[in-house]
């Protein structure tokens, strides 16, 4: 298993729990401390599981592979390029209503008309 196939395999709570159990077993058996920030963590876990005599460690590694592979479609969807959305104007955490198409457009006779929103309500304009 390569970390490059699913770069965010460690971003799921259940997987992190399983990885921490594996790290504990590896530390007890081999005296090696594996860091969660290591880019080769998944490969290192698989290497130690192959050398280990512990069936528990092998079972956990298999479970990690299954859990990480189940999460892969979500991760792939998150990394697909999407169309940039226009920034939505917000006020106190609430989206403001979209201005009408003719907002800010005025006739040549009158001065510029501007929509003013005060405390979430349209006060003047449009």
What span, in angstroms and rounded, lies between the C-alpha atoms of 18 and 34? 14
What average pLDDT does this structure show over 2-21? Answer: 75
Check whether residue 67 and residue 125 sit in a common domain: no
Domain that holds residue 24: 13-79
1 pLDDT higher than 60: no
Of residues 31, 36, 30, the one with CA closest to residue 17: 36
Tens of pLDDT, residues 46-98: 999 999 998 999 999 999 988 887 765 554 555 555 666 667 778 888 888 87
44 pLDDT higher than 50: yes
| CB contact at 8 A, 50 and 29 | no
Sign of CA dihedral 119, 120, 123, 124: positive
Give the least confident one: 1-10, 49-58, 108-117.
Answer: 1-10
Domain-embedded: residue 60? yes
Check whether residue 111 and residue 75 sit in a common domain: no
Q: Rounded to a whole number, what is the distance in angstroms from the first to the last CA of the chain? A: 59
Task: Count the domains in the chain.
Answer: 2
């Amino acid at each position: 298993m390569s970390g490059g196939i699913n770069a965010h395999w460690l971003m799921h709570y259940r997987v992190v729990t399983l990885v921490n159990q594996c790290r504990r077993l590896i530390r007890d058996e081999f005296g090696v401390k594996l860091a969660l920030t290591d880019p080769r963590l998944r490969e290192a876990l698989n290497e130690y599981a192959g050398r280990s005599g512990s069936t528990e460690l092998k079972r956990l590694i298999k479970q990690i592979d299954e859990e990480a592979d189940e999460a892969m479609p979500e991760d792939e969807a998150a990394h697909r390029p999407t169309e940039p959305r226009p920034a939505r104007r917000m006020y106190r955490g609430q989206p403001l209503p979209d201005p009408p198409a003719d907002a800010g457009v005025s006739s040549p006779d009158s001065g510029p008309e501007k929509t003013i929103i005060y405390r979430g309500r349209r006060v003047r304009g449009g």
